[in-house]
């Protein structure tokens, strides 16, 4: 069909709508369950260690993806890290402007290989820089649900 | 046989369960780790990874095999996803075969995973859109419609009744009682138990259907020079075949799976099989529904059309019969985590031909077996023939 034969309005062709009605229900998994319970109950990060590859996985994993060993050495990880990279989000998912640009960062946690993507707050967005030291701010224990949102945001230290 | 010789040298699987706490990645890792351990290999021995997994909607993760890849041993390796719907579990080892037979790789992992409990309220929801959006979806069909119409067409064509077919469910659930990974094994189940289950869409009743399941299965496949080094019991891939029938299910003969016959002919030709009824000693046809085992046995030309139910009634397909069929317990008994279920059948042939099937071992040291799966828009047949 050439460009000239394209329909210009939806009503020019018979059409109807339908959806794929499924809802995802996810588990955190064996390692993930332990990670999120530690956040919920103790406001604490846990990681797993691969002694062979010398990798500290945060979030923790049940196995090492590089050597494939089962990982059962758990350590506490500091809530402090640094901004590996960041962005300021200006539009919501529907393309509408946000009231304020939303700072979002990949935070490399101290003593871990890898880290978390999360919000930054208690800072002027103009002041954020790569390498900036930050720490996790947890919600009140009563508000925590065992979710990544139990971390309210990261803030400068 | 075309290409270099390829053997299955290791296999592993998780328990098949209704709801796994493990993530899909963790399930895949457990099966893959067991498969590597079974042949004393590590990821260093693996040149490429084939991941078989059915619709993304089941795990509710788009780009599902990429998500799964680290649990399948794919870190830093060539990885490919195979996907032909329900036929995937037998198609993935076919891909494993040609990755090695081509000479490109010496050893590959084949990993199949499904975590259907992620898909709520029921995995059926993901299938509503496989029907033609203009001619069928306004009728609000679900997947059971196809199976009910197909089962009834099969029953009418050969004058069968429900009892002729429900024997398959009884056999497979009893066989599964001997499978340590099975979800629905039951050594004492009876024909009446199956016939008394609720009607879903006549003639399909609950007892005719395999369960929604979570699980993973993995194989290690190697070229001959590696296989001979790592094991004294390699199980050779002798033939593979796969075909698609028309996408219009209203243009198929629903009483006969011609797509299975064509896939079987391709695999038999490659394996040099001219008399399948003499040369195949053990079969794992796809049995998501009890009638499908019979349907597929006929498509595989292991019985004449319409004759599989009589053979089943006569005990021919029992574990100690002339042609043991689904000695694993099949999808009806072990469970049906779609892609993983098909690969479970291939793993079962591997264990049976090596004499390692434990309480499920069929007598008489079988030398050649086949596994078959079915899926896509209910029109793909995938067949693998293996031998020792
Ligand atoms: Zn490691």
- Give the pLDDT means over successive 10-residue stretches in chain B (388 positions): 90 97 97 98 98 90 94 98 95 98 98 94 85 87 91 97 97 98 97 97 96 97 98 98 93 94 98 98 98 98 98 97 98 97 98 98 97 94 98
Q: What is the pTM of this model?
A: 0.95
Q: Tens of pLDDT along A17-51? A: 888 788 899 999 999 999 999 999 999 999 999 99
**Chain B residues whose beta carbon lies within 8 Å of the beta carbon of residue A66:** 43, 75-76
Look at residue A4 and tell me if it is in a domain: no
Measured distance CA(A140)–CA(B2) in Å, rounded: 66
A-B contacts at Cβ under 8 angstroms: 81
Q: Closest Cα to residue B54, out of B93, B82, B94?
A: B82
Cβ within 8 Å, pair A68-B32: yes
Domain count, chain A: 1
Which pLDDT value is given to residue B1? 55
- Are the beta carbons of A22 and B71 separated by less than 8 Å? no
pLDDT given for residue B135 in this prediction: 87
Residue A10 has pLDDT above 80, yes or no: no
| Residue recorded with tokens 């034969």 | A5
ipTM value for the complex: 0.89
CB–CB of B82/B95 below 8 Å?
yes
In a domain, A2, yes or no: no
CATH code (residue A84): 2.40.50.140
Q: How far apart are CA A34 and CA A146, in angstroms?
A: 10
Q: Which two tokens stand for residue B116?
A: 């259907």
pLDDT for the residue B134: 84
Tell me if the bond preceding B121 is cis, omega within 30° of 0.
Answer: yes
Residue A3 reports pLDDT greater than 70: no
Please name the residue that has the structure tokens 């949102």: A149
A22 within domain boundaries: no
- Do the chains contact at B26 and A16, CB–CB below 8 Å? no
On whether the CB atoms of residues B336 and B358 are closer than 8 A, the answer is no
Residue B21, judged by CB atoms within 10 A of its CB (0-12, 13-18, 19+), counts as middle
Q: Which residue has the higher pLDDT, B112 or A3?
A: B112
> Which chain A residues are closer than 8 Å to B117 by Cβ?
25
Residue A27 sits at the chain B interface (C-beta within 8 Å): yes
Residue A126 confidence class, pLDDT cut points 50, 70, 90: very high
Backbone phi, then psi, for B266, in 5-degree steps? -65, -45
**Which of A13, A63, A64, A71 has the most B C-beta neighbours within 10 Å, making it the best mutation to test the interface with B?**
A63
Burial of A148 (0-12, 13-18, 19+ CB in 10 A): middle
CB of B62 within 8 Å of a chain A CB? The answer is no
* Burial of residue B225, with CB atoms counted within 10 A of its CB: 0-12 exposed, 13-18 middle, 19 or more buried: exposed
Query: Is A72 a member of any domain?
Result: yes
How far is Cα B276 from Cα B67, in angstroms, rounded to an integer? Answer: 40
Å from A1 to nearest chain B CA?
A: 21
Q: At B259, is the secondary structure helix, strand, or coil?
A: helix
A13 CB-contact burial (10 Å; exposed 0-12 / middle 13-18 / buried 19+): exposed
Nearest to A21 among B20, B21, B125 (CB): B125
Q: How far is B136 from chain A (nearest CA, A)?
A: 12
The pLDDT-based confidence of A2 (bands split at 50, 70, 90) is low
- Per-residue three-class SS string for B22-83: CCHHHHHHHHHHHHHHHCCCCHHHCCEEEEECCCHHHHCCCCHHHHHHHHHCCCCCCEEEEC
Is A80 in CB contact (< 8 Å) with chain B? no
Alpha-carbon distance A94 to B382, whole Å?
43
For B280-337, give the DSSP string.
--EEE---SBHHHHHHHHHHTTSS-TTTHHHHHHTTTTSTTSSS-B-TT-HHHHT-B-
Widest distance between CA atoms in chain B:
58
CB contact under 8 A, B75 and A66: yes
Contacts of B194 (CB under 8 A, 6+ apart): B166, B169, B170, B205, B207, B208, B290
Give contacts of A26 with chain B, Cβ < 8 Å: 23, 60, 118
Question: Which DSSP category does B180 fall into?
Answer: T
**Rounded distance, CA B47 to CA A21, Å?**
39
* Chain A residue whose CA is closest to B72: A65
B42 touches chain A (CB under 8 A): yes
- Give backbone dihedrals phi and psi of A27, rounded to 5 degrees, phi first: -105, 155
CB contact under 8 A, A31 and B33: no
Euclidean distance between the first and the last CA atom of chain A, given in angstroms as a whole number: 61
Question: Which residues of chain B does A70 touch, with a Cβ-Cβ cutoff of 8 Å?
Answer: 33
> Residue A71 C-alpha to ligand 1 middle, in angstroms?
8
Residue B293 CA to residue B165 CA, distance in Å, equals 9
Q: Which CATH number fits domain B6-120+211-387: 3.30.1330.30, 3.40.50.11540, 3.40.47.10, 3.40.50.1000?
A: 3.40.47.10
Q: Which of B51, B337, B65, B321 is nearest to B182 (CA)?
A: B337
In a domain, A143, yes or no: yes
């Amino acid at each position: 069909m050439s460009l000239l034969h394209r329909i210009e309005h939806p009503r020019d062709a018979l059409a109807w709508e339908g959806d794929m009605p499924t809802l995802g229900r996810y588990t955190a998994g064996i390692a993930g369950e332990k990670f999120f319970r530690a956040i919920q109950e103790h406001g604490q990060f846990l990681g797993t260690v691969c002694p062979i590859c010398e990798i500290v996985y945060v979030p923790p994993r049940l196995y090492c993806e590089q050597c494939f060993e089962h990982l059962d050495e758990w350590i506490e990880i500091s809530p402090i890290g640094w901004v590996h990279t960041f962005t300021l989000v200006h539009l919501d998912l529907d393309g509408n402007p946000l009231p304020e640009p939303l700072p979002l960062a990949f935070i490399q946690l101290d003593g871990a290989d890898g880290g978390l993507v999360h919000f930054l707050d208690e800072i002027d967005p103009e002041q954020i820089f790569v390498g900036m030291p930050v720490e996790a701010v947890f919600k009140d224990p009563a508000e925590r649900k065992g979710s990544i949102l139990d971390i309210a945001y990261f803030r400068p230290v | 046989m075309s290409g270099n010789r390829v053997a299955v040298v290791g296999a592993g699987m998780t328990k098949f369960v209704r709801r796994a706490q493990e993530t899909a990645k963790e399930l895949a890792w457990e099966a893959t780790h067991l498969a590597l351990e079974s042949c004393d290999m590590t990821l260093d021995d693996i040149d490429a990874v084939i991941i078989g997994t059915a619709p993304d909607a089941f795990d509710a993760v788009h780009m599902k095999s990429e998500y799964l890849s680290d649990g399948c041993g794919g870190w830093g390796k060539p990885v490919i996803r195979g996907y032909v719907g329900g036929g995937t579990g037998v198609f993935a080892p076919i891909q494993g075969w040609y990755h090695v037979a081509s000479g490109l790789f010496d050893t590959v992992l084949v990993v199949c995973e499904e975590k259907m409990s992620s898909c709520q309220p029921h995995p059926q929801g993901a299938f509503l859109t496989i029907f033609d959006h203009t001619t069928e979806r306004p009728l609000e069909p679900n997947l059971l419609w196809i199976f009910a119409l197909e089962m009834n067409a099969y029953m009418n064509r050969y004058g069968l009744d429900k009892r002729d077919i429900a024997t398959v469910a009884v056999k497979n659930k009893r066989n599964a009682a001997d499978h340590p990974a099975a979800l629905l094994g039951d050594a004492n189940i009876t024909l009446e138990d199956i016939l008394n289950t609720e009607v879903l869409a006549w003639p399909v009743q609950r007892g005719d259907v395999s369960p929604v399941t979570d699980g993973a299965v993995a194989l290690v496949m190697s070229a001959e020079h590696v296989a001979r080094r790592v094991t004294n019991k390699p199980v050779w891939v002798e033939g593979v075949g796969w075909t698609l029938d028309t996408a219009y299910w209203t243009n198929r003969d629903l009483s006969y799976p011609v797509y299975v016959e064509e896939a079987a002919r391709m695999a038999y030709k490659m394996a040099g099989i001219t008399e399948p009824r003499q040369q195949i000693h053990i079969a794992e046809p796809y049995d998501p529904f009890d009638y499908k085992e019979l349907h597929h046995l006929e498509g595989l030309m292991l019985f004449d059309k319409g004759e599989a139910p009589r053979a089943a009634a006569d005990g021919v397909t029992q574990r100690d019969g002339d042609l043991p069929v689904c000695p694993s317990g099949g999808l009806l008994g072990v469970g049906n985590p779609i892609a993983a279920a098909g690969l479970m059948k291939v793993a079962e042939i591997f264990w049976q031909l090596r004499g390692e099937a434990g309480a499920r071992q069929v007598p008489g040291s079988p030398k050649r077996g086949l596994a078959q799966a079915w899926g896509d828009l209910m029109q793909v047949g995938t067949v693998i023939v293996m031998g020792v």
